[in-house]
C-alpha cells in the first residue's frame, strides 16, 4: 500500500484518510474495514452511517467532528490540529469521511496540514455519493442516448455562496451532480433556467441515498423547489440534473423498505 513520503522525520503515529462511501456498509472497501478494525482512534463526520461505525474496533477512541451547514462541532482548522496531535502521540488514526475524501470532502486540506507537520498518512478512496447514490436511485450518470459527460459541483462554496459556473452547468447531453445543494436549490434551478436550461429539464433529489431511509423525488427545474418543500426533504441530499433522470422509473432497483440496511 502506497503512503506519502515526507522530507521531515515522521512521528510513530499515522493518519489514514478513509472514505466511508454513501451509507450502505457493504460499499466499504476491504482496506477501509481492515483499518477500522485496527485503529486506535477514529475521527468521523456526520455523513458516516451508524452501520459503518459498527466496524470500528471495540475500545477505539471515537471523536465526532461532524460539520453541517452553519453547525460545526469542530472548525476545519481544529480538526487539522487534532489529527496532527493524535499522530504525534504515536496513535494510528482513521479520519473517516462519508463518500470519497477527495471529492468535496476537504481531504486535501487535511493532508496538506499533515504533510506540513511531517505526519505520515495514507489515503483509502471510498465510493463517492455521485456514483453510489445515483446507482441506488437507478439513475446512470452517463448513457449513450442522453449524456456523454458528467459534471460534479458543490452547492455550498467555502465563502458560503453558490456562485457556480452557470454556463458550464447548462451544456447539452450532460449530467450535473450537485453535492450539498439542498439549501440553495431554488437559486440553482432559477439560475440554470436563466442561463438557457429548459424548465422541463428532469431533476432528481435523493435523500439518504443507499440506506433504508432513502427517498427519491423526481421533478423538473421549474417545479422541483416546491416538490422538495412538499416532501419535507432534509440533508443529506444529492441532486442529479439531466435527461438521464428519465431512466429512474424503469431502472430503480433498490427497495429501501425491504433492504434491511441500517441507516
Catalytic residues: 45, 67
Rounded Cα distance between 216 and 107, Å, is 28
Q: Which residues of 15-45 are buried (b: 16+ CB within 10 A; e: fewer)?
A: bbbbbbbbbbbebbbeebeebbeebbbbbbb
Q: Could you tell me how many residues make up the chain?
A: 263
The DSSP 8-state label assigned to residue 9 in this structure reads P
Angle at 38 between CA 118 and CA 17, to 5 degrees: 45
Candidates 202, 212, 206; CA nearest to 243 is: 202
Q: Which residues of 177-194 are buried (b: 16+ CB within 10 A; e: fewer)?
A: bbbbbbebbeebbebbbe
Rounded Cα distance between 28 and 87, Å, is 24
Amino acid at each position: 500500500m502506497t503512503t506519502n513520503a515526507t522530507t521531515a522525520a515522521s512521528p510513530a503515529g499515522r493518519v489514514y484518510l478513509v472514505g466511508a462511501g454513501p451509507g450502505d456498509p457493504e460499499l466499504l472497501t476491504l482496506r477501509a474495514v481492515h483499518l477500522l478494525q485496527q485503529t486506535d482512534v477514529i475521527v468521523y463526520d456526520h455523513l458516516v452511517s451508524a452501520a459503518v461505525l459498527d466496524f470500528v474496533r471495540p475500545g477505539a477512541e471515537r471523536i465526532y467532528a461532524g460539520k453541517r451547514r452553519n453547525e460545526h462541532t469542530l472548525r476545519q482548522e481544529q480538526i487539522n490540529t487534532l489529527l496532527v496531535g493524535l499522530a504525534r502521540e504515536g496513535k494510528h488514526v482513521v479520519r473517516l469521511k462519508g463518500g470519497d475524501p477527495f471529492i468535496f470532502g476537504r481531504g486535501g486540506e487535511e493532508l496538506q496540514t499533515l504533510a506540513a507537520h511531517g505526519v505520515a498518512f495514507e489515503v483509502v478512496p471510498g465510493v463517492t455519493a455521485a456514483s453510489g447514490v445515483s446507482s441506488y436511485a437507478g439513475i446512470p450518470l452517463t448513457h449513450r442516448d442522453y449524456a456523454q459527460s458528467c459534471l460534479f459541483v458543490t452547492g455550498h462554496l467555502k465563502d458560503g455562496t453558490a456562485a457556480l459556473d452557470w454556463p458550464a452547468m447548462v451544456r447539452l447531453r450532460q449530467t450535473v451532480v450537485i453535492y450539498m445543494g439542498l439549501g440553495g436549490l431554488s437559486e440553482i434551478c432559477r439560475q440554470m433556467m436563466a442561463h438557457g436550461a429548459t424548465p422541463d429539464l428532469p431533476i432528481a433529489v435523493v435523500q439518504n441515498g443507499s440506506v433504508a431511509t432513502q427517498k427519491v423525488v423526481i421533478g423538473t427545474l421549474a417545479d422541483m423547489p416546491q416538490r422538495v418543500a412538499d416532501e419535507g426533504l432534509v440533508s443529506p441530499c444529492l441532486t442529479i440534473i439531466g435527461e438521464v433522470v428519465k431512466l429512474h422509473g424503469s431502472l430503480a432497483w433498490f427497495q429501501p423498505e425491504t433492504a434491511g440496511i441500517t441507516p
